[in-house]
Structure 1
Amino acid sequence: MLPLPMAALVSLSITFKLDKSLEYMHAITGAALENCASGCPWPSMPIIGSLWAQKVRRWHNFIVVSGSRSVFRQNNESVAQLLRSCFTSFLGTLSVSTSKLTSECGVNGLLGSTITAPGAYPYVSPGFLFLRSCRNIHNVQYVNDIIVGLVTEYSNELAGRRSDAGSRHIKSNESSLSLAAQSAKEVATLGASLLCAAGGMLLVQELYKETIPTWLLSSRDVKKNNDSVASYILEGYAMAYLLILSGSIIWGVGTKLPPGTFSRRSRTIEVHLDFLAEVMEKKISVSCNPITWKTYVCCFVGFMVSLAPVWIQEVRVDTLKKLALGLSRWNEHEIALSLLHRGGLAAMGALAELVTVIESERMLPSSLSNLY
């Protein structure tokens, strides 16, 4: 049984004369039926599909695909599986026996490269299905948690491929780590793209304010075969790139923005940097691995300095100063100085103070050696 308005629309549309001159009517009707069905509390597309498939054979695949989308509306497990399929289709899967990527991957794997032939069983690539379904996901905040988890998982997997089988240290081959970092960037790029498509600005704001801080504050069990320095480094690197790219897609990196977007961007970034500064001052304790934490902070600040310097000028000088001092304590002097330099004229005083502190620290060892 269909709701009365939808039943009336189906009854009216199914009586349309089928000829080429009325193709546009069927296109409009199809979209209307699809939107109505997705808004119903119970699945209506199977009923509509059974009626229309008898009338218009060429609509069969369209009906099947539309009906399959309804499961993602309120079923979180199905959403998680679809997102995992997107990552697998784009990045490939790791074969244990050969330790190589198998199956078709890349853009063709994610979005598909062929159209199902008439009469064949309909196939829809996971990326295409996600793009058609993501706006209907009821609990869209759940997408953040799943994507962050998948980025972490794939980063660990990348480290497992490029670390020595019997060692817990990074390979001495710099090109191997560089390739792993490039792959981690691809993982983060996919995650940012899916996240922005699903929730836009609201989901990115939650990523900055809630999801990433929670990820840093929580401890995670890492598989023993991937429990290496490389895995922690790639985790932090990928998550920093995920955050900076998501913000860049939604807010941009320039100054010409609508007033509402500009204020939301500055508030969101400042909240996140305030959180990082409080951790630096040991007011908050993170539970993630220290290597992950240090890599994340250094990479995120480094990405802001090089890719989005305008963001830094929107943050309070006091917050920038706390971050710079924390980075300086890690001997990351170059990033700390660049951060304050990008802060503009308002941060020049803090920059001069930091230069003085760094110079005094460098002079201290030589002064002590002269005493002996």
Structure 2
Amino acid sequence: MSLKLADIEAAGKMIVKWGGSTYTGEESNGKMSPGWLLETQSEGLITRIDEKTSLMADATFIKMDSRKHSLDYLYVDPVMQSMTTDGGMFKGSMTEDLTESVPKFARRTLNARPYVAYSFTPKQFLKENVEKEGFLPKFEAMLAEKCGTKVESIAIYSRDDSGSEAGYGDYDGLFAQLEKVAALTDEDEIAQNGRGYYGVVDTADADATIVEQIMNMITTFAAQKGKIANAKLYMSTMLKGSILVEASRRETDLGDKVLVNGTDISIFGVPVVEADFLNNPANGFNEKIILCDPKAVVFGFLWEMESESTYEHNMKGYLSSIDLEFDNGMIHPKDIMYADITNGQIFGAVKNTSGAAVTLKPQNNETSADITIANNETNTRVPVGKYTNGDATVTVTKGKTITISASE
């Protein structure tokens, strides 16, 4: 077969061999021999962004004018009363004969913290890398995008604790805030803030499918008057995959309760959102699922993400940095609820007849947060283990119902 000049030109870059099919083009000293073209490389650096924001992209944003920004609330629970007396006459004085509907006020404060990420690029590198001078703006754009996902992770997993991971110890993030909501015992406070913590969704539970457990979570969320019409389910890619597997099985009617439209899923009409931050738990937290109206989560920025680069003569290179100052919180906690995701958790049940809500505090990390059980709850599923209820110890065992009475 003859090789024409047109064929060579159409092939573009090519390798020329001398010495037969086994010739490698290199001499014993590793140098390229005449007649062998040098290796080629891509014309630019190949980049990849694995993560994107999800909850933060849907949340409420507030521009803060100072480092502290207060959110003030007004609540009212009207007392509707009859104006007639037993004899059918109108009551004479509202202030003397009726109970006033009193307004209630509350305040939550955002307290912005400064964060920074920086990188140093030597001047010599800009002359030698394949991107040349184009490297710096490309790298800064990547750095800014990755900082966005890191901010979301900090906002979710931070805990005001000196033992936290670097960058995660300045304040309480969303899960730590919800743990405090779950620890409330005052009935009025629970009514205003919700439960915060649902409990456990066990992917290996033999008695209930994942979909059934999430449906119970949705029902609980609606019962605490969470905004179910605006709610979304934020979960990991693995959990979403497990739900798709369940929904594909038609032995039960669960497939009819999970609407699958291409890659979009909804359960009980609540859309499912894959959240990269739940794929990669940080700061010692385990995998979780969040059910919320995303607008109930608020991010306050004293200043938004700023990118800058300066040439440092004494270092012969460019110093690039990303700066921002922010805090995050909850506008209405009752519109947010989370659950732990476990695999193979064993459950018992707790019945509360004590006359008031009780809080079970795990002694051996049975759950990531305290479990609050409302009065007259007859069958609350609780992971097996030991919990404290005030000064008493409550031991939950497999398949049995433990009753907490007024004497405990």
TM-score (norm 2): 0.24
Rg bigger for which structure?
A: 2
- Flag the structure with more relative contact order, 1 or 2, with Cα contacts below 8 A and sequence separation at least 6: 2
Higher share in strand = 2
Higher share in helix = 1
